[in-house]
Structure 1
């Protein structure tokens, strides 16, 4: 990894050979988190090709028995909404990978069948119900682990550069009426305060398309992905393609 790119990520970053290795490293982190804690756990998922590899790995023979599925609750960092084929894509990704491993009521998808604002309000209410309060306590995380991706424009979840949603500091969930990248469909996204309310945030970045946003972060550009600071660790798992 170049010196420029290395300065774009925290000291705890890992450079791994390929996307499969990134998915495996993330799976091992998730198992470690689940093994270290008692009671229910909240995991916030992201969309994309690398998480797809991760979810299949978690549901496969190597990791399936290592996870306490009965204690895991799955949430989503963002979702595409509306009546188009893109709507609900992150939910479908998890459902198709996990199948019947997830007990009833343990998958918490973002609604997609209302206006963007109504979907955001409904998911905010879901998170408040899960958390048991409508204000975040610095001593108590919202999630036990947050998975994040890095867009080629530097976005994460559906917080796009130059859009007002990336500046939100109070609400946990926002409507995103206009996406910054294709597909240009309305979305709902968790905000930085919600994404950061975790002891561990894992960025999964794979492929040569991620070199440009990493270089922009290294140059000091203020991009949404670069603003995420988990309460404990913010770890970047990169493959050789992204690291350059």
Structure 2
């Protein structure tokens, strides 16, 4: 496993630690700040915490821009679930134009191309420069099969080395909904990557990554710091 591990008591403590890191990142930089969001139960705790009384007034909402590491697309009810998660948690704290969702109303390939174009407009170039990050902070989770974002073991998207965004026509586990995902190079273009990992179901993939097994989450690493925030149930 690449990066440092920090073990915390429970999912709430993991979310609180991530919130503290996000506040620090936002406060350390002048101008706009780009945050790449993840889906799932622990990020949901984090987003509610950020919008709650403890952290809400510590964040420069007018400078924060929110992006997404992946999304379910198409015409099924699951499409757009990560966007809805953020919208429901943040409400009207996010200024117009500061939430940058992945399109869901086209083919997966068209959605991926549209989001890649949006990211390149944000970045101001179509190639990633080693000294210039795409995001200021990337949040990721870990699937029980070792996937992260929507990069699944054994799928070609997990090995993409050039594109920033890829269509994922066939998910590696349920719900089997087409996805769009940022690639490992795009996710790596950050000074800080936080993995939020909670629950006993994550012990097995963590052990597989630690043993060196070829799993997408094990290859995700920031150009700067990669920090795994684990609760005690996941860490074992």
Structure 1 residue 126, shift from structure 2 partner: 0.3
- What residue in structure 2 maps to residue 243 of structure 1? 235
Are the equivalent residues in 2 in contact too, given 1:146–1:202 (CA < 8 A)? yes
* 3-state SS of 2:176 partner: coil
TM-score (norm 2): 0.99
The number of equivalent residue pairs is 236
Instruction: Please give the alpha-carbon distance, in whole angstroms, between the structure 2 residues aligned to 1:208 and 1:9.
Output: 21
Instruction: Please give the alpha-carbon distance, in whole angstroms, between the structure 1 residues aligned to 2:180 and 2:206.
Output: 25
Structure 1 residue 219, shift from structure 2 partner: 1.5
Structure 1 residue 34, shift from structure 2 partner: 0.6
* 3-state SS of 2:233 partner: helix
- What residue in structure 2 maps to residue 3 of structure 1? none
Name structure 1 gaps, 5 residues minimum: 1-7
* 3-state SS of 2:86 partner: helix
Are the equivalent residues in 2 in contact too, given 1:9–1:236 (CA < 8 A)? no
Structure 1 residue 220, shift from structure 2 partner: 1.1
- What residue in structure 1 maps to residue 128 of structure 2? 136
- What residue in structure 2 maps to residue 17 of structure 1? 9
Structure 1 residue 13, shift from structure 2 partner: 1.4
- What residue in structure 2 maps to residue 36 of structure 1? 28
Structure 1 residue 9, shift from structure 2 partner: 5.5
Are the equivalent residues in 2 in contact too, given 1:203–1:236 (CA < 8 A)? yes
Name structure 2 gaps, 5 residues minimum: none
TM-score (norm 1): 0.96
Instruction: Please give the alpha-carbon distance, in whole angstroms, between the structure 1 residues aligned to 2:195 and 2:40.
Output: 12
Instruction: Write out aligned runs for 1:146-165 (5 A).
Output: 146-165=138-157
